[in-house]
Amino acid sequence: MRKRLSRIKKIEILWDINYKIFNNYLDYYRDENIWINFKESWDSAKWNTHDLIYISEKSLIKFLDDKTLTRASKAKNYNGKNGSRAFVSEHIVPFNLLIDLYKEEFKFKNPSFNEYKHFFIKFNKICLVWHEEDNYLNDLGFKKNMPVKINEIKDNIFSRYVAANIKPIKTIFLNPGDLFTVLKEKRDEGLCINEIKQLISKQ
């Protein structure tokens, strides 16, 4: 019987495979002057090789104040749009910009594995925002853009959130499902928001 891989092992494999794939993209760019930036070619990194999960303060407050809310709740049941979730997994740096930034960072020389991993942990940050916050980012024109130029992103990673007044909380979790499991447990126990923040946040 084939051994079933744990989620941690799967993510470890994806880190390794994506490193090799992205080095090939860089080599191809140098040889052909064509940058592989279409969405499907980066999807396994987009949702799997990232920093610890963030949650916005507004999302946390909404979840703790309403016991009907779950990770999978639909936005339409909370005055939102059809087809959207109440909690939206949102990239703090839009992933299309991350792809271009990766090229600019390593176009002359392929990164070491540690450099590659450091890059993705620094820039591939996912935040669970309330659906209204996601809509506001779109209204501001920041769905796929940032208020700063690409060469300024390194020092302004959270600039979209500053512009939209979104307050991200870095958690100790890599998986949103694990975060919401703990949040529900603590909500049911009646812990206050400050106690829960202390439990879930990466200081």
Q: Which domain holds residue 159?
A: 7-200
Model confidence at 92: pLDDT above 80: yes
Asked whether residue 1 is domain-assigned, the answer is no
pLDDT at 116: 98
With beta carbons less than 8 A apart as the criterion, state whether 37 and 100 touch.
yes
Look at residue 138 and tell me if it is in a domain. yes
Q: Is residue 84 part of a domain?
A: yes
CA dist 188 and 136 (Å) reads: 30
As beta bridge partners, residue 56 has 168
Whether the pLDDT of residue 5 is over 90: the answer is no
pLDDT by residue (tens digit) across 184-201?
999 999 999 999 999 999
55, 128 Cβ separation under 8 angstroms = yes
Tokens of 6: 């744990």
Whether 129 is covered by a domain: the verdict is: yes
Query: What are the b/e assignments for 43-75, b being 16+ CB within 10 Å?
Result: eebbebbbbbbbbbbebbebbbeeeebebebeb
pLDDT digits 0-9 by tens, 8-59:
899 999 999 999 999 999 999 999 999 999 878 999 999 999 999 999 999 9
pLDDT (average), residues 57-68: 96
Q: What is the count of structural domains for the chain?
A: 1
Q: Would you state the pLDDT for residue 75? A: 96
Mean per-residue pLDDT, 89-114: 97
Q: To the nearest whole number, what is the mean pLDDT of the chain?
A: 94
Does residue 182 fall inside a structural domain?
A: yes
- Nearest residue to 167 (alpha-carbon basis) of 125, 112, 113, 129: 129
C-beta separation of 173 from 200 below 8 A: yes
pLDDT band at 203 (very low <50, low <70, confident <90, very high): low
Contacts of 115 by beta carbon, 8 Å cutoff, 6+ apart:
106
Residue type, 165: N
Domain-located, residue 97: yes
| pLDDT beyond 70 at 93 | yes
80 vs 190: CA distance, rounded Å: 27
**pLDDT (0 to 100) of residue 39:** 77
Over residues 116-130, mean pLDDT: 98
Sign of CA dihedral 190, 192, 193, 197: negative
Per-residue model confidence (pLDDT) at position 69: 96
In a domain, 171, yes or no: yes
Beta 168-170 vs 87-91: how paired, if at all?
Answer: unpaired
Q: Is residue 158 assigned to a domain?
A: yes
